Amino acid sequence: MTTTNVARLLKQSDIPFDLLSYPVDEQDLSAQNVARKINYPLSSIFKTLVLETDAHQYVFAVISGEEEVSLKAVARAVSAKKTHLVPMKDLKQLTGYIRGGVAPIGAKKPFPVLLSHSALNQEFIIISAGKRGLQVKLAPDDFLRFTNGIVFMNR
């Protein structure tokens, strides 16, 4: 199985994880589709969104596949007035990742990581391994510790 920067970095840090692979459907990169393909509940699939604040700070918001991101909640969490999603065309240049493969680990630059409070109810979370078709399953506490992440109320 292909390894990624995400898997390498977690392994180097002795963070326990499982690498899950699935066939990619370029027409449907949704968390729902990933959940179906790897046979895990949608509540355990976490998507990584890249946002920019009014102060031009970037941040990763990692939220459950069941959630929509609250721009106001992200802004509050990073003490900004406003945030907006980074346009898809800018993702690769900014993070080194493409849509459907954005990970909060191993990006070009280490942006602050926000993790939705819903992750705390999970035994494990499943995030992108940095490549379409690969996911990493790990404990929320390990994820927070590794990324120096902050839990935020996504509402």
**CATH at 79:** 3.90.960.10
Find the domain containing 43 and state its range.
Answer: 5-152
Q: What percent of the chain has pLDDT over 90?
A: 95
CA distance 3 to 17: 13
Q: What is the pLDDT of residue 78?
A: 96
Once rounded to an integer, what is the mean pLDDT over residues 134-145? 97
C-alpha 152, offset from chain centre:
14
Across residues 121-133, what is the average pLDDT?
Answer: 96
φ, ψ of residue 105 to 5 degrees: the values are: -115, 135
Rounded Cα distance between 122 and 117, Å, is 10
Q: Is the pLDDT of residue 1 over 90?
A: no
| Amino acid identity at 51 | L
Mean pLDDT of 21-49: 95
**What is the secondary structure of 38-82 as a DSSP string?**
HT--GGGBEEEEEEEETTS-EEEEEEETT----HHHHHHHTT-S-
Residues 76-118 pLDDT 10s = 999 999 999 999 999 999 999 999 999 999 999 999 999 999 9
- Indicate the number of domains in the chain: 1
